[in-house]
Amino acid sequence: MGWQGDIILALFKSAARLALTAFIGLSLLVSARAQELVISTNNTPMDRKALELISKEAFRRIGVDSRVVGNPSERSLYLANQGEVDGEGLRIAGLGNQYPNLVQVPERFIGISFVAFAKDPQINLNQGWASINPYRISFITGWKMFEANATNARSITKVDTPEQMFKMLDSNRIDLALYTRTDGIALVERMGLPSIAPLAPSLRDVDMYLYLNKRHEALVPKLAQALRYMKTDGALNKILSSLKSE
């Protein structure tokens, strides 16, 4: 072919190099995107903020990006268990039995007080969960803490949003609204319901955890270690302090 063949061969090699470069670049882009984990949640506003900030820093320390998306409580767990998102939080310990594709990161994120809100301050909760049995109660669908412990109440109404629940309480359609103390107090104030307040003692104070879909199980010990380091180097306290000041 002579010089024409040399030109064709050179052009072919050049095109091959460009294709290879483009392929490598695309592979790196796909790989980088694959490192962003999507965490689903139905946490209350303050707890969601804690999840976002703490998980972002913990994942950063192990070289992974993360973002948090909101979903209804039961659907949030379903999506994580099915692998349609990468993880779910924050939740109580021990959900792996019910959702076998979820692996608990065994290091506590935050602690939460679950309480009953009422208009009647004389309601006595000194007997724990048994104390709520005589009353009409409400809680958010998919909140496993209440689904497991508040089954013997006089009546149970499950709702999609806390606003629905507190409106029911304000209109005397229920006696107790089960929620988290910090966010409940903020919501009552925002909704202008001064007659509603949390009762003491709390129904339960619990540690809350992140769960990852089992395909990311290799990240679990690394993430737990990152959380432990955050507790010792002060990063976690700094995040929590920033939330309290908001």
Same topology, domains 31-110+207-244 and 112-205? Answer is yes
Q: Which pLDDT value is given to residue 4? A: 53
Q: Which pLDDT value is given to residue 5? A: 53
CATH number of 112-205: 3.40.190.10
Question: Mean of the pLDDT values across residues 211-224?
Answer: 97
* Closest-CA residue to 198 (of 215, 179, 217, 211): 179
CA 200 and chain centroid, separation: 26
SS3 22: helix
Domain boundaries, the chain: 31-110+207-244, 112-205
Given this structure, which CATH class describes domain 31-110+207-244? alpha beta
Bond from prior residue into 221 cis (ω within 30 degrees of 0): no
Please give the structure tokens belonging to residue 181. Answer: 């103390």
**How sure is the predictor about 104, in pLDDT bands with cuts at 50, 70 and 90?**
very high
Handedness of CA 222, 223, 226, 232 (dihedral sign): negative
Bond from prior residue into 201 cis (ω within 30 degrees of 0): yes
Q: What is the pLDDT of residues 171-200, one digit of tens each?
A: 999 999 999 998 999 999 999 999 999 999
Q: Which pLDDT value is given to residue 134? A: 97
Asked if 138 contacts 178 with a C-beta cutoff of 8 angstroms, the reply is yes
**How sure is the predictor about 164, in pLDDT bands with cuts at 50, 70 and 90?**
very high
